[in-house]
Chains A and B, each alone.
Chain A
């Protein structure tokens, strides 16, 4: 990792740039190796590795959306609350008869209706965020800070503050089941990541997101409809936050209005560790996924090592600051 930063720019292969670009994967591997040694190999048990990924699947899904927002020089603080709102709305539509706290007693809908409505709610809230930013010219930080509070409130009102339990097993399969031995949340994360990677690198929308983050003024002059880009980005983070809500509620088998508190910070951490720049115009989906995995590995490893949750927060805090420092140097 201490490779020379000498000027290799004239050569055909730019070693410095290569290391800069892929250093993050090396860091992930370092963590994995360190933990494998410290835990005497326990960490590398296939079951444990799958567990690590499943634990970060919700964070990963949200971080994918966050990557779009941050590339476009924005931020979305409301994803955790959108997650909760979508989770409780979905859960309320797929409760089994006999549940203690039912919103719609006697309602028997197929599980996918709950999923679709949950996703729609997330998208809708995202569109409100996008409109505030695009048409009312409110800074993304402020607009989504307001939404963070409001959407959480709506989730609490909707459920009267109590979790909605006893959900349809078909719904719970999303968070708990396996397909071909691979947990469903991992498959969903993989699909989301692939689709987002395609969007970001192969579609007009993706290029416009980079253009907006790279230079808003220049993007405008190039005929790009800035407002539509903003709407699209926030709708997408809303949709993905809703999906994360479904993942989490189906995993624990209950729609809890307190779900996802603070998850926006984990998602931002993953995105930034993954190399997305707060200065806009720079970022990759694979980097974000690696960032999410690093968070998962740290969480899991510190758990295996019996480090107290309080210290875990300190460690994560240090990592995010380090990531930003590296980011700043990269762009100098």
Chain B
């Protein structure tokens, strides 16, 4: 079932949590709402579930083209997985999962045996067979999370909503569980929305990523798209490490630091300041200068656990910190020690000017 959010706003007292949000989630997709805390992502999720009511004023939430704003939370046929699981602590795993079926009106309630079979099937799905008589307190965090998921799926929701589903787990379990969630989604194909502040998680798991900030949506796109072509400086800096350079356009000439860029698209642009972003791996580091425009920096710190070595550099002119990434081989060739002087120059950058955004390859 598709979800469509149209012109939804939500304020708490004086705080504007969501400002005129519109979003379309195609049927069967797995969408991530990604943003820093306070960006409104959880509020949006709770509005879709019906746990919060949007501000009055014509906003709509459509499930399969049907407005559900006035529908009670229990009638929306959504499954909701809470950040801290919210399992019923006095019920066993079996009772937890069966709850949604047992509270149905008598006419719609499946028989006892049928409920038991459903629970067994769900336990198999979430790989917790044999644990049906445990209490939530006797389970690990990852197991609790999967019980919460099974409980949400038991009522055969049309939409599955997950609030920071892996937020409370340790790093290794997080990684396993999110891959497992992706496989599960491919298996059951229920339209799903999950909230996260972890960009890595969003980019790895979701079909589409919705980047949110201060109650608005900054960008919607596939993980590849938001990573490769961030729509604005916020998305760029929120997704991964990035170096910021300042520049300006003067008389049709774009200058970033000392580098004169040949940008035909900005020839006619008015005089203004611009910002340019460069990812750490887009910086070239060398011991000898390529040209007069190179920036000089001093090596402060080296960190490398994988195939890439991270260099923390300090610019000699502004004392700003710059992060660069080189391969292990390059690092060996450079033979760098802390306090060594190096030259750096960007191989590619993304310039945000008033006239538009453009990628610049050097």
The answer to whether A binds B is no
Chain A residues near B (Cβ < 8 Å): none
